[in-house]
Amino acid sequence: MGAYILRRLWQMIPTMLGVVLLVFFLFNWVGGDPAYVLAGKISNQEQIDNIRRQLGIDQPYYVQLGIFVKQILTANFGASWSTNEKVSHILLTRLGPSLTVLVPLLILSTLISIALALAVAYVRGSLTDRLVMIVCTIGLSVSILVYIIVFQYVFAYKLGWFPVQGWGDGFWHNLAVYASLPILISLVVSIAPDLRLYRTFMLDEINQDYVRTGRAKGVSENRIMWVHVLRNASIPIITNLMSSLPGLLLGSFLIERFFSIPGIGREVILAVERSDFPVIKAITVYVAFATILTNLLADLTYKAVDPRVQLK
């Protein structure tokens, strides 16, 4: 196990290197020269050159790349080019609001999707199963933007159950007051695809011999579904779940924009709009790192869930 983990960690290096090169060259080729924007409405070439010098983008590419690598190794990405706020401070302060929405969402969405998937898989082929699938398909076909606009209008404006937008100070206050509607919308959006996917995993298992054997031996349906089927269907579910974890670091920019949640998703969009490379670099690198780590974590969880899995 230890050797496996070490090998996987070692394999992270070329992957990260690829990410670094991709981000660096994408920014330099298509990112635009931020000096022209930062220079203000009226500027001459000398002022623009001064800004480029201060930002370090007048350096040869290999020097800039070296600085980028050093920043990753020291976890110090400097300050935002447009606001001068430290990148580490940006990440620390914006991550909280995003996680306040996304962590409860992930937990609720997973639990509800699994429970519903088990239920509809159990009554597969029935009218209920078909109705749920039709609703899911319709739900999947509608853009999240429509959900946001309609839910904000109906539940926040018309019914007044939630504030239209905003963000407070305390975690519980935010969770109860400001995050509720965004979580509700995200739940509606995320349950449909998860439910369809998990139902497929469940159906694959329900048709297995061990289920028939269990029933023949008189094991209760509840135990078959919640213990045996769920356990065996858990590997693809874990894969799906783990792949969504790095998304926590990216937030949900549409939800954050519409509900004025000062999260990381809004920050990413702001950074792109402002060609704020230090922020873009840091977030990209951390998300890549998180993706690799969660993949590793997923593999280790497979082993814990199913002892037949061999880690090579």
Partner 1 sequence: MRSGFRGLAGILALLVATTATSLAADPAKVLRIAFPVAETGFDPVRVSDLYSATVIEAIFDPLYTYDFLARPAKIVPNTADGMPEVSDGGRSYLIHLKHGILFSPDPAFGGKPRELSAEDYVYTFKRFADPANRSPWAFLINDRFVGLDEQVEQAKKTGKFDYDAAIPGIVALDRYTLRLTLKRPDYLLPYTLAHSAFGAMAREVVEKYGNDLQAHPVGTGPYLLKEWRRAARIVLEANPGYRKRIWDFQPGDDPWDRQVVAEMKGKTIPQIGRIVISIIEEGQSRWLAFSRKELDLLALPATFRAEALDRSNRLKPALAKDGVKLYRAIDPSVSYAFFNFRDPVVGGFSKEKIALRRAVIMGYDLPEEIRVVDKGQAVQAQMPIPYGVVGFDPAYRSINQYDPVLANELLDYYGYKKGADGYRTLPDGKPLVLQMATGTAAADRERDELWLKSMNAIGIRMVFNQGKFADQLKAAKACHLMMWDAAWTADYPDGDDFLQLLYGPNTGQSNNGCYQSKAYDAMYEQSRLLSIDSVDRQHLYLDMTRQMEVDGAWVLQTSPERNELIRPWVLGYKKHPILNADFVYLDVEAHK
* Binding site residues, partner 1, CB under 8 A: 30-34, 36-45, 47, 50-51, 54, 79, 82-85, 90, 93, 149, 152-153, 156-157, 160, 163-167, 257-262, 266-267, 270, 275
Q: How far is the CB of 262 from partner 1 (least distance, A)?
A: 4
Q: Which is nearer to partner 1, 182 or 214 (CB)?
A: 182
Q: How far is the CB of 178 from partner 1 (least distance, A)?
A: 11
Q: Which is nearer to partner 1, 6 or 146 (CB)?
A: 146
In the beta sheet, which residues pair with residue 11?
Answer: none
Q: How far is the CB of 65 from partner 1 (least distance, A)?
A: 21
Q: Which is nearer to partner 1, 188 or 219 (CB)?
A: 188
In 3D, which of 122, 94, 112, 108 has the Cα closest to residue 253?
Answer: 94
Q: How far is the CB of 26 from partner 1 (least distance, A)?
A: 13
Q: Which is nearer to partner 1, 157 or 210 (CB)?
A: 157
Q: Which is nearer to partner 1, 2 or 160 (CB)?
A: 160
- Give, for 4, the enclosing helix (H) or strand (E): helix 2-30
CA distances from 89 to 77, 130, 297 (A): 10, 49, 27
Provide the token pair at 168.
């407070």
Q: Which is nearer to partner 1, 189 or 288 (CB)?
A: 189
Q: How many CA atoms lie within 13 A of 151 on its CB side?
A: 21
CA distances from 33 to 66, 123, 274 (A): 19, 58, 10
CB 108 within 8 A of CB 183: yes
Q: How far is the CB of 126 from partner 1 (least distance, A)?
A: 40
In 3D, which of 233, 211, 245 has the Cα closest to residue 115?
Answer: 233
Instruction: Count other Cβ atoms within 10 Å, centred on residue 99.
Output: 18
Q: How far is the CB of 279 from partner 1 (least distance, A)?
A: 12
